[in-house]
Each structure stands twice: as structure tokens, then as C-alpha cells.
Structure 1
Amino acid sequence: MIAETAVVYAGVELGDGVAIGDHAVVGKQPTLGRRSTATREELPPLVVGEGSAILALAVVFAGTRLGRGVVVGDQACVRERCKLGDEVVVGRGSLVENDTTVGARTRIQANAYVTAYSTLEEDVFIAPGVVTTNDNFMGRTEARLAAMRGPTIRRGARIGGGAVLLPGIEIGEDAFVGAGAVVLRDVPARAVVVGNPARQIRTVPDEETLGR
């Protein structure tokens, strides 16, 4: 079902049973600032897998592919050249920036920010208010362009509410980042880290790992 007030751009490919909510904008081309580092090109149409839902006031850009059963929540945004696997959830008001890959069944809760050039593998949990970053130079010097990279969050990792992940770090498989942590360096698989700066305090128990 497509709401009467939704805007669906020409060429968008919609699978069977896709729902598009009130005032959603689907398949638009990006408009970039003069100093943007994003690639400037005419993008192919958005592809939305069967059974997916793009809810009220959400915006999903051209050049992105949504798998089957994806939910993009109210007022959320998924930018260009992203790949979202089956059954991914992007919560209300969250932003997934350009050139990001999100694995199947990953859940991004409300008001989270997933920066450009990030990789989230399967079954990742991103709690509300998480912030990821990709630029240690914060817009200064051309050297930043070669080093610009978001975090890599491995399969089954969980990131607690309000945590901040610095550019280019890796969160290991089944790792647990506590609420409000500021993560400056890589986190090993199954490590539990908390605090500012984040430090390991224990290991995730067997019963909480994906293999159980």
C-alpha cells in the first residue's frame, strides 16, 4: 500500500507487499554541498524488497537496496548507495548515511546515527542515541579523505544507548558496548566494555552469544 501523500520517484523498484507511509519520500537523488566528499553521479533507482515498509515522513535515497521485510521507521532516513539486508529495522528518527552496509536482522533503534562508510554485519543491535563517526580530522585537511572510514561492527555485537564510536574502529563479534561508552580503539570479540574511554570489564557469557 502506498499512501496518497507519499512521493515515489520514477524508476523505483518496489517488491510485492511493500508499504509506504504518509509523506514518505522514496528514491530521490541526493543534493550535495559544494564541499561534500560524497561521490557525485546520477544514481540508479532505489530497490525495495518484498514486504518492506517505509513509514511516515521517512526518506530513502536512490542508489540504495533494501532487502526483504525491512522497516524504515517514521522520520528515519537511509542515504544513497546503502545496502540493507533482510529484516533490518531502522528506528524512528535514525539516520543511515551513504555507502553503508547493514547485515540481515540488524536492529537500529530510535535516534541513532550511523555514519557514512560504515559496516554493520548480521544480527547487530544499535541502541537509541548511538553515534558513530568517520573523520578524525573533522573536516580539516585533504589528508582526511584517504582515512575517512566508519566503524565495522561484527556479527551479533551490541552497542548500548548513547555510546560513541570513533572512526575506523572494529567492534568484535558478540561484543557488548555499555551505555554511554566512548570507544577509542578496537573491541575484541565477546568483550564487554564500559566507560570513557571504554575499557574491558569482562567477557560476554556463552548463553548471550549468537551461537547459543
Structure 2
Amino acid sequence: MSYQVHTSAIVDEGAQIGAGSRIWHFVHVCAGARIGEGCSLGQNVFVSNRVVIGNNVKIQNNVSVYDNVTLEDDVFCGPSMVFTNVYNPRSAVSRKEEYRDTLVRKGATLGANSTVVCGVTIGEYAFVAAGAVVNRDVRPYALVAGVPAKQIGWMSQQGERVELPLTGEGEFTCPHTAQRYRLVGEHLEYLGA
């Protein structure tokens, strides 16, 4: 086995887990789950069957990743953040055929205690603030906060606030990495270093 599993964790037969991944206390990974290399699943994480997790994903304590959620490479899920997969759940009404897909793109951060309502896409390197409730798509590099989440700024790949307006024209260079960004209308473009 090229990954680590704590003795209290349950990994169902058939689950695919990449090399170097670490699965900590009281985690349950279902048989159909696909987890990439170098991932970390913190205490009390649940990963359902129809879940795809990329490489180097960090899922902190008390997060449940339900069916129809895809996390691309380098995603960070903060402690106790929440995914849903049914938009209008009722205990007495079975809606397992109505699961909505949720896609979290490369490098995005989902802050502690945030909630991601099913059926949305969170763009590359977007940053969801702690406690935010995301109920619509989030642009790449966007910083969103509040209930419901609204865009309040931009973030660099380094996770630093980009000093540009929400819309318009402009350029920004990250002081930590020298990576350059350009704002065009309502979209932030990565230009390289």
C-alpha cells in the first residue's frame, strides 16, 4: 500500500487512492471513490462513491464529500465546510436521481464552515471565505464572502488579495511570486511570472 490509513479509518474495497495520500482518524472512504496522489483527509471525513478527488487535495476535519462532487488538483476544503448534492431535500421524498454535480476547479479554497449548494462550479484559484454560502457559480480567482456569497475581490494563486476593482481594466503583480494578472471586464487572467 503506497498510502497511509489510520487504524480507525474505513476504506471500502474498490476505492482508488493515490500514492502518498494520508487518511486520518475515523475517515470513511466508499468503494467507488477515486482519490489522487498526495492528498490528506483529516479526522472524521466521509467520501462517497461518486466522488473524484484530484492530486494534492487537503480536506480538513469533519467534511463530508457527497456523490457528484469533483475536486480538481490542489483544492483546499477547510474544517467543517459542507457540500450538498440535492437542491431541495425532503426526508419523505427520494431524490437520489436528482443529484446535482458540483465542480471545484484547480487550486480553489473553501473556507472553514462554508457551504457549497449543489450544482455550482467554483473556478480555478477562487477563494470562498469562512462561513460563506455559495449558491451560484464563482469566477476563477474570485474572492467571495457572505450569505449568500457575493464577490468582494480577487485572489492570486498564492492566496493573496489582488488589489484591483471587481470590474474594469488593470494589471497586478504578486509581491511574493512576481506572478502577473490582468483584469479584463469581469474576468481576471493569469499572465505568468
- Relative to the length of structure 2, the TM-score reads 0.78
Of residues 136, 139, 142 in structure 1, which corresponds to 2:87?
136
Q: Distance in 1 between matches of 2:158 and 2:19?
A: 29
Match of 1:167 among 118, 134, 140: 118
Shift of 1:62: 2.0
Q: Superposition pairs for residues 69-108 of structure 1, below 5 Å?
A: 69-108=20-59
Go from structure 1 to structure 2 and tell me whether the alpha carbon gap of 1:160 and 1:141 turns closer, same or farther (over 3 Å shift): same
2:155 corresponds to which residue? 204
Q: Which amino acid in 1 is paired with 2:102? A: P
Matched to 2:82, the amino acid is V
Q: Match for 2:13 among 56, 62, 67?
A: 62
Residue type of the partner of 2:100? R
Q: Which AA in structure 1 matches 2:22?
A: V
Among all aligned residue pairs of Structure 1 and Structure 2, give the percentage whose two residues are the same amino acid: 33
2:140 aligned with 1:184, yes or no? no
Deviations 1:71-105, CA, capped at 9 Å, x for gaps: 11111111120110001111011111121000000
Q: In 1, Cα distance between the equivalents of 2:59 and 2:114?
A: 13
Q: Distance in 1 between matches of 2:41 and 2:89?
A: 26
Q: CA deviation at 1:146?
A: 4.2
**Structure 1 residues 199 and 59: CA distance shift in structure 2, 3 A:** same
Higher strand share: 2
Aligned to 1:208, the other structure's residue is in SS state: coil
Unaligned runs of 5+ residues in structure 1 are 1-14, 16-49
The question of whether the paired residues in 1 share the 8 Å contact of 2:48 and 2:66 is answered with yes
CA-CA distance at 1:145 after TM superposition: 4.1
- 1-structure distance, mates of 2:35, 2:158: 28
Aligned pair count? 162
Q: TM-score, normalised by structure 1?
A: 0.71
